[in-house]
């Protein structure tokens, strides 16, 4: 067993809080509304409002595009793009597909006495809409996600949303673990001082997440649910 694979037990033994990214670990957010299509619509919106993105900028996802707009465009253009993205995310929340095994993970985490928080660059309203529609809100103690007043530059890989979640649930970073499926999740978690469990749900992700510094890797959420059942918390 590799050091990364063998680390999951050690992480969960001391993880009194489980932080989960939304798009990936919880659901396929854009299953019915392809992210590249939304990103193209946002690009057109930027151009229509006189904005200009850097030449050669190759950004396929709408969240990455919003961050780029925040870095390069006027506040009014940023606000217009953010509002359009919010509308797209709310629509996407109605067609998002649950990640297999996530219900089991959330129930098991709660049953084991762990706090659960969602930490997401997606909009707070869309995350809550999805959780409510799927009856998952009762398993989640806190949602730390993008709000209208959040500077987009504070989205992951910045650790702001993670630190905000930890403050809300009052669990220290060293007693927490983040489950994420992107290198930005790994970077944010590492900066915040939490252990990162990489969710390698697609080919090539395992290698990228390990290279980024993930402490442990799972291939499916069912693996995490099984581990949560098998690993009791160690109390100080």
Q: What is the pLDDT of residue 56?
A: 66
Beta-carbon neighbour count of residue 144 at 10 Å?
22
Q: 117: helix, coil or strand? A: strand
Residue that is written with structure tokens 């762990």 in the block = 114
Question: Residue holding tokens 């006027």?
Answer: 74
The pTM for the full model equals 0.93
Q: DSSP letter for 23, please.
A: B
Burial (CB count within 10 angstroms: exposed 0-12, middle 13-18, buried 19+), residue 146: buried
Is residue 79 packed enough to be buried (19+ CB in 10 Å), middle (13-18) or exposed (0-12)? middle
The pLDDT, as a whole number, for residue 234 is 83
What is the reported pLDDT for 132? Answer: 98
**Residues 183, 208: contact at Cβ < 8 Å?**
yes
Tokens of 218: 């799972």
> Which single residue is written with the structure tokens 């944010």?
188
Low-confidence ranges of the chain (pLDDT < 70): 1-5, 56-58, 236
């Amino acid at each position: 067993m590799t050091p990364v694979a063998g680390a999951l037990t050690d992480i969960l033994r001391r993880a009194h809080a489980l932080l989960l990214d939304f798009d990936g670990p919880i659901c396929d957010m854009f299953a019915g509304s392809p992210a590249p299509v939304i990103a193209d619509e946002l690009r057109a919106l930027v151009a229509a409002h006189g904005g200009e993105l850097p030449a050669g900028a190759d950004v396929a996802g709408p969240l990455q595009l919003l961050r780029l707009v925040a870095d390069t465009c006027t506040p009014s253009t940023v606000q217009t793009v953010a509002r359009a993205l919010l509308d797209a995310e709310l629509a996407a929340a109605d067609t998002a597909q649950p990640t297999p095994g996530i219900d089991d993970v959330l129930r098991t985490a709660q049953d084991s006495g762990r706090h659960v928080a969602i930490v997401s660059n997606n909009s707070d309203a869309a995350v809550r809409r999805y959780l409510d529609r799927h009856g998952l809100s009762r398993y989640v103690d806190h949602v730390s996600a993008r709000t209208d007043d959040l500077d987009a530059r504070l989205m992951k890989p910045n650790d702001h949303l993670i630190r905000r979640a930890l403050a809300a649930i009052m669990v220290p970073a060293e007693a927490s673990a983040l489950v994420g499926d992107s290198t930005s999740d790994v970077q944010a978690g590492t900066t915040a001082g939490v252990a990162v469990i990489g969710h390698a749900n697609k080919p090539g992700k395992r290698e990228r997440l390990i290279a980024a510094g993930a402490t442990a890797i799972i291939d499916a959420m069912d693996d995490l649910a099984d581990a949560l059942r098998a690993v009791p918390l160690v109390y100080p």
